[in-house]
Amino acid sequence: MGIYTVKKARKQQNTKGALLHSDQGFQYTSRQYYQLLKRYSIQASMSRKGNCWDNACMENFFSHFKAEWLLLYILMYIFWSN
């Protein structure tokens, strides 16, 4: 999620006070990215270097969420097509 995605999210809803967690990829550590977050009142949160456990709970949640959503979507498609 880079600058384009942050701008798109801002157009869709109020981002004031939002917390945006990311890894330490180059696009998330740029000055331009941090200036945009500051302008939109978004707080940046970043994992520590080399520590994958910082965001493990959320990664686990979204893994299950996506799997269950996909199953529901497939079942709805099967029901619709029959």
pLDDT digits (tens, 9 = 90+) for 9-42: 899 988 899 988 887 887 888 999 999 999 999 9
Q: Does one domain contain both 36 and 76? A: no
Q: Does one domain contain both 1 and 37? A: yes
Give one DSSP letter per residue of 5-39, joined into a string: HHHHHHHHS--TT-EEEE-S-GGGSSHHHHHHHHH
pLDDT of residue 54: 72
pLDDT of residue 23: 77
Q: Does one domain contain both 39 and 79? A: no
Q: 52 versus 28: which is more confidently predicted? A: 28
pLDDT of residue 5: 87
Residue 35's domain comprises: 1-46
On whether the CB atoms of residues 44 and 22 are closer than 8 A, the answer is: yes
**For the chain, what is the domain count?**
2
pLDDT of residue 1: 60
Q: Does one domain contain both 36 and 60? A: no
pLDDT of residue 82: 80
Q: Does one domain contain both 59 and 78? A: yes
Q: Does one domain contain both 40 and 66? A: no
pLDDT tens, residue by residue, 53-69:
777 887 888 889 988 98
Structure tokens at 9: 């999210």
